[in-house]
Amino acid sequence: MSRGPWSDPEYRIRIVRRPEGEAPEWVRDAWIGVEMPVLVPEPVATFGFGVLTGPKNIVLDWILGAIGRAKPVSGYVVAADTAVASLMERSPAAAEWWRTQVPYLVRTGARFVFDAPACERIP
């Protein structure tokens, strides 16, 4: 499945500090050192929800976004399933947290946005 023009492996990031977010600190710390492909080569400004307090399905996500309930976020966009698979190599326990606590986010087509200061572009 194509993920867009920027899914070429040459566009990658490495997480270099704890990302922002609602996941527990130990889970966010587990991302440090993980490398993964990005869907867009530069950080983007978009809107999103917290992983614990956000909507649990795509329809509610769309409705709440349409009425202005999403918050602004900025960073690198990655495929959620690919990100968690990359995390699995470094920390199976943290990957399992994503799969058990927020399984609706770890699906094909879902996206994570990692804040730019937590990331380093890999040349």
Report the DSSP beta bridge partners of residue 76.
114
Q: Is 15 within 8 Å of 114 (Cβ atoms)?
A: yes
- pLDDT, residue 48, reads 74
Q: What is the pLDDT of residue 112?
A: 93
pLDDT in tens, the chain (123 residues): 344 444 555 799 999 999 999 999 999 999 999 999 999 999 998 877 667 666 566 655 665 556 666 677 889 999 999 999 999 999 999 999 999 999 988 988 889 999 999 999 997
Q: What is the pLDDT of residue 34?
A: 98
Query: Do residues 17 and 32 lie in contact, with contact meaning Cβ atoms separated by under 8 Å?
Result: yes
Chain mean position to CA 109: 11
Spatial strand order of the sheet with 35-37 comes to 35-37, 12-15, 119-122
C-alpha Rg value of the chain to the nearest Å: 14
The amino acid occupying position 36 is: M
